[in-house]
Amino acid sequence: MNKKNPDHFFSQLLQNDLIGKPDEAIENRLMHSFLLKSAGLKLKQNSFTSYFGWLFSLQSIGFKAGLASVILFFSVINSNLSPDTGKITGNDSLFNKRILVADSTRWIKSMDSLRHDSLN
Amino acid sequence: MIFRRKNKILSDNELMRLIVSHDQSAFSKLYLRYKDRIYYYFYRMLGNSSDLANDFLQELFMKIIQKPENYNPAYGFKTWLFSIANNMCKNEYRRRGVHTKFQQYEVHEEKFDFINEQTVETKLVIEKIFQSLEQLGQEHQSTFLLRYREGFSIGEVAEILEVSEGTVKSRLFYARKYLAEKLNYLKEEIEF
């Protein structure tokens, strides 16, 4: 009698072993859970929590410090370019009264502070 | 039709990538692809209990839903999936203390109603094999199942069970020998 190879015999035997199918309700439950998780993530996308969390954490601290320095630098430069720099204003309420007019000629201002001061 | 959508069969890795980006149909495909095999593994590893097998199957796929990013595409998906299944079985054994608690099943003839193409004789042989394997231990049973039912290579079985290839070979040899000793039928059928 020809004896079989054990590997082949056991493989064949187990491949043909039928035990039935898993419960079909599992698939529905899993799909529901998947939907719930996806819905949860979509809601999270609309919140600022993660953004503020990142902003006030130590994560990417170099980048945040650099960004803060750039903003600070430009704000200082901007205030120095202002025509009112160096001008001492008195506490005279009449002098401080200004009428704001949308005059486009004022948008281009002279950078010559001497001339600017002399005109005033 | 010009714009007909191609029904391309996606690989497990591609499906996992889609699952990470919340594609439900990808998850459904992956579940349908593996549910029977994982169910069988749990069923045999957990004392032939269909309730436990169903619970564990659901739990395993829930893990994938919760943390799909845990999968490393550098490794085979099938290997990863069965290693999770095996770890779940190990935890269950540990939780219950002694794994002999699972050795309570008997061969019930009425359970075989759904099997038409399988003879009762073959079924009884299989049940005897698993009864014997349970006596041998969970490690031998998982090695035997992964090798002969799932068709994993020795290397893959070693990766799943986190043991050396030599250990896998030794377990298989010992399991075959033990089965031959226990079941006279096998002695006549196969060459050891």
pLDDT of residue B15: 93
Final residue in a domain of this structure, among B87, B103, B119: B103
Assigned domain for A3 exists: no
Q: Which is nearest to B150 in space by CA: B27, B42, B68?
A: B42
Indicate the residue type of A113. S
Angle at B110 between CA B106 and CA B114, to 5 degrees: 115
According to DSSP, residue A2 is labeled: P
pLDDT of residue B73: 84
Q: What is the mean pLDDT of residues A64-92?
A: 74
pLDDT of residue B180: 85
Select from B35, B39, B190 the Cβ nearest to the Cβ of A9.
B190
Residue with the larger pLDDT of the pair A88 and B86: B86
Assigned domain for A7 exists: no
Assigned domain for B95 exists: yes
pLDDT of residue B111: 44
Angle at B86 between CA B84 and CA B90, to 5 degrees: 115
Residue in chain B lying closest to A26 (CA)? B58
pLDDT of residue A94: 57
Angle at B39 between CA B127 and CA B117, to 5 degrees: 50
What are the backbone angles phi and psi of residue B99, rounded to the nearest 5°? -80, -10
Do B118 and B93 belong to one domain?
no
The Cα of B55 is separated from the nearest Cα of chain A by a number of Å equal to 9
Do B94 and B112 belong to one domain?
no
Task: Please report, in angstroms and rounded to a whole number, the separation of the first and last CA atoms in chain B.
Answer: 59
The total of structural domains in chain A comes to 1
Q: What is the mean pLDDT of residues A16-34?
A: 92
The total of structural domains in chain B comes to 2
Final residue in a domain of this structure, among B83, B103, B123: B103
Question: What is the ipTM, given to two decimal places?
Answer: 0.79
Final residue in a domain of this structure, among B56, B85, B103: B103
- H/E stretch holding A38 reads helix A25-45
Angle at B35 between CA B34 and CA B41, to 5 degrees: 90
Do B61 and B123 belong to one domain?
no
Domain that holds residue A27: 23-82+93-119
Q: What is the mean pLDDT of each run of 10 residues along chain B (192 residues)?
A: 63 92 92 95 92 95 93 88 94 76 46 52 85 89 95 94 95 90 76 65
Residue A108: is its pLDDT beyond 70?
Answer: no
pLDDT of residue A66: 92
The pLDDT-based confidence of A9 (bands split at 50, 70, 90) is confident
- Asked if the Cβ–Cβ distance from A21 to B122 is below 8 Å, we say no
Residue corresponding to tokens 């495909």: B29
pLDDT of residue B119: 72
Assigned domain for A14 exists: no
Assigned domain for B1 exists: no
Do B95 and B111 belong to one domain?
no
- Asked if the Cβ–Cβ distance from B24 to A4 is below 8 Å, we say no
Secondary structure, 3-state, B55-96: HHHHHHHHHHHHCHHHCCCCCCHHHHHHHHHHHHHHHHHHHH
Do B93 and B140 belong to one domain?
no
Indicate the residue type of B104. Q
B11 token code pair: 């690989």
Do B31 and B82 belong to one domain?
yes
- Return d(Cα B54, Cα B52) in angstroms, integer: 5
**For position B98, which CATH number holds?**
1.10.1740.10
pLDDT of residue B125: 84
Assigned domain for A102 exists: yes
Is the model's pTM score more than 0.80? no
Assigned domain for B93 exists: yes
Rounded-to-10 torsion of CA B72, B74, B78, B79: -90
Assigned domain for B2 exists: no
Residue A118: is its pLDDT beyond 80?
Answer: no
- Return d(Cα B31, Cα B39) in angstroms, integer: 11
Assigned domain for B183 exists: yes
Domain that holds residue B94: 8-103
pLDDT of residue B98: 56
- Return d(Cα A15, Cα B118) in angstroms, integer: 11
Do B63 and B122 belong to one domain?
no
- Residue A24 contacts B, CB cutoff 8 Å: no
